[in-house]
């Protein structure tokens, strides 16, 4: 049941959440210059409990963003550099026979962490990419007939290179659908690049970033997302947007609909609000929907559908 937050009793809490995330965003902005909107949406994605896909040319700061987020959010961090010769065991781990005990002992792979950086994920084969599917959906992995839970919380931030580059494999739709958001950092503006040339490399500042949250605190904040209220008019607007993607061909799935709702709630919470507004839906819609609409005609991309769908039906 979608229970609204009681604004009169939680007003101070909401303002504290807003101030906390503003402080976190400002800290990350010291490392990722000139990208406040992308930082805000990245935090929104993680607060909503979702996985993030960063698509861009190499050298745009994708890995730096993931490292900075793990540091300020106080999350354990592992990075995997995906390559064409990787195997699923390189991600999940494997059982090794111990001669002394004459038993197999499982050695956990790098996926057993709170924030996994899957760097250049589309350079690995589809078989290796598929090793992440169960982990991303169910926060567990199945190995040798056993189901092993992953640490809580668990997030994947993956980077992928543009499809026109050599040596890349396209991500299947089933895997794209498991990413709550897809973002692109793009080139830094002139002022940011000038600052980089004049001073210290922003990446060198990662070690100086403070941990502004603990994992336990993050879990509490994530639970608050469920209590943000989605009123009937905003719910109808959200449904119209999703149904617009389904006109004429396959559109957003039910899983995507629920993901969009949760992302909008997380966005509202970060602003210190107890109820989702149409502006919250609009703020996250393109990042949530666009990568799920690959292959559709250009006029049916998320941004066009957003501008063509009225708030009031």
Q: Which residue has the higher pLDDT, 117 or 97?
A: 117
Mean pLDDT of the chain: 86
Query: What is the mean pLDDT of the segment spanning 36-41?
Result: 94
Burial class of residue 239, CB neighbours in 10 A (0-12, 13-18, 19+): middle
pLDDT in tens, 224-243: 999 899 999 999 999 999 99
Enter the tokens of residue 99: 């001669």
- Fold: same for 7-227 and 228-313: no
Please provide the CATH number assigned to the domain covering 7-227.
3.40.50.300
pLDDT in tens, 250-288: 788 898 999 999 999 999 999 999 999 999 999 999 999
7 pLDDT higher than 60: no
195 pLDDT higher than 50: yes
Residue 201 binned pLDDT confidence (cut-offs 50, 70, 90): confident
Report how far apart the first and last C-alpha atoms of the chain are (Å, whole number): 25
Pinpoint the alpha helices (H) of 93-141.
Answer: 126-129, 133-138
User: Domain 228-313: which topology?
Assistant: Helicase, Ruva Protein; domain 3 (1.10.8)
Indicate the range of 9-13, 24-28, 65-69, 182-186 predicted with least confidence.
9-13
The secondary structure of 8-35, three-state, reads: HHHHHHHHHHHHHHHHHHHHHHCCCCCC
Of the candidates 67, 33, 61, the residue with the CA atom closest to the CA atom of residue 211: 67
214 pLDDT higher than 90: no
Q: Which residue has the higher pLDDT, 169 or 239?
A: 239
Residue 298: the pLDDT is: 47
13 pLDDT higher than 90: no
CB 54 within 8 A of CB 186: no
Burial 62-93 (b: 16+ CB within 10 A, else e): bbbbbbbbbbbbbbebebbebeeebebebbbb
For the chain, the structural domain boundaries read 7-227, 228-313
């Amino acid at each position: 049941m979608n229970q609204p937050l009681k604004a009169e009793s939680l007003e101070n809490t909401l303002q504290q959440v807003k101030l906390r995330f503003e402080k976190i965003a400002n800290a990350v902005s010291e490392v990722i210059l000139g990208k406040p909107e992308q930082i805000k949406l990245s935090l929104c994605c993680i607060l909503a409990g979702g996985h993030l896909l960063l698509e861009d040319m190499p050298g745009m700061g994708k890995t730096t963003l993931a490292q900075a987020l793990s540091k300020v959010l106080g999350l354990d961090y592992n990075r995997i550099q995906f390559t064409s010769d990787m195997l699923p065991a390189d991600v999940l781990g494997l059982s090794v026979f111990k001669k002394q005990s004459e038993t197999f002992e499982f050695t956990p792979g790098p996926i057993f962490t709170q924030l996994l950086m899957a760097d250049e994920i589309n350079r690995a084969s589809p078989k290796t990419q598929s090793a992440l599917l169960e982990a991303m959906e169910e926060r567990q992995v199945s190995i040798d007939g056993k189901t092993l839970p992953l640490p809580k919380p668990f997030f994947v931030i993956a980077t992928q290179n543009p499809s026109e580059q050599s040596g890349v494999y396209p991500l299947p739709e089933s895997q794209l659908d498991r990413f709550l958001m897809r973002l692109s950092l793009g080139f830094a503006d002139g002022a940011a690049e000038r600052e980089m040339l004049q001073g210290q490399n922003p990446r060198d500042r990662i070690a100086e970033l403070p941990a502004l949250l603990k994992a336990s605190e993050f879990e509490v904040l994530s639970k608050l997302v469920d209590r943000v209220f989605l009123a009937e008019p905003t719910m109808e607007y959200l449904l119209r947007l999703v149904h617009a993607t389904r006109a004429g061909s396959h559109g957003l799935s039910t899983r995507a609909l629920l993901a969009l709702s949760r992302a909008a709630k997380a966005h509202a919470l970060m602003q210190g609000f107890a109820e989702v507004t149409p502006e919250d839906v609009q703020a996250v819609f393109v990042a949530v929907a666009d990568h799920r609409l690959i292959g559709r005609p250009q006029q049916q991309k998320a941004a066009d559908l957003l501008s063509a769908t009225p708030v009031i039906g």
